[in-house]
Amino acid sequence: NAGVTQTPKFQVLKTGQSMTLQCAQDMNHNSMYWYRQDPGMGLRLIYYSASEGTTDKGEVPNGYNVSRLNKREFSLRLESAAPSQTSVYFCASSEIRGNTEAFFGQGTRLTVV
């Protein structure tokens, strides 16, 4: 049972480049999330999807877009990367809503130079 799988694990981008972070879960969860983690800031919610076909902005959505491709997959896209987007990105899923346990992937360490 893989749980939540994120790819890639590491990435270096040049300013202005675009990329998509992939996330897939095999637990049949309805809710999925994208967070970024910066030193001293904890986890900040970028976007979330309460169910297949819906997405909503979180606390820090600017510069990002998401796609809930199906129930399993939730991708995060950076259209034009900026140094301020250097961070560790985590994808998570939960069964129904935010008051049930969230399961996390191992993270993607992104550096924008």
Nearer to other proteins, 69 or 96 (CB): 96
- Nearer residue to other proteins within complex by CB, 63 or 107: 107
**Length of the chain in terms of residues written:** 113
* Residue closer to other proteins (CB basis): 20 or 100: 100
Residue 14 CB, shortest distance to other proteins, in Å, is 25
Residue 35 CB, nearest distance to other proteins (Å)? 7
Site for other proteins, rule CB under 8 A: 4, 31, 33, 35, 40-45, 48, 50, 56, 58-59, 90, 92, 94, 96-107
Question: Which residue, among 13, 19, 108, has the nearest Cα to 65 in the 3D structure?
Answer: 19
Residue with tokens 């049930």: 100
Q: How far is the CB of 9 from other proteins (least distance, A)?
A: 10
Determine how many CB atoms are found less than 10 A away from the CB of residue 23: 25
Alpha carbon distance 86, 97 (integer Å)? 28
Instruction: Please provide residue 102's backbone torsions phi and psi, each rounded to the nearest 5 degrees.
Output: -100, 135
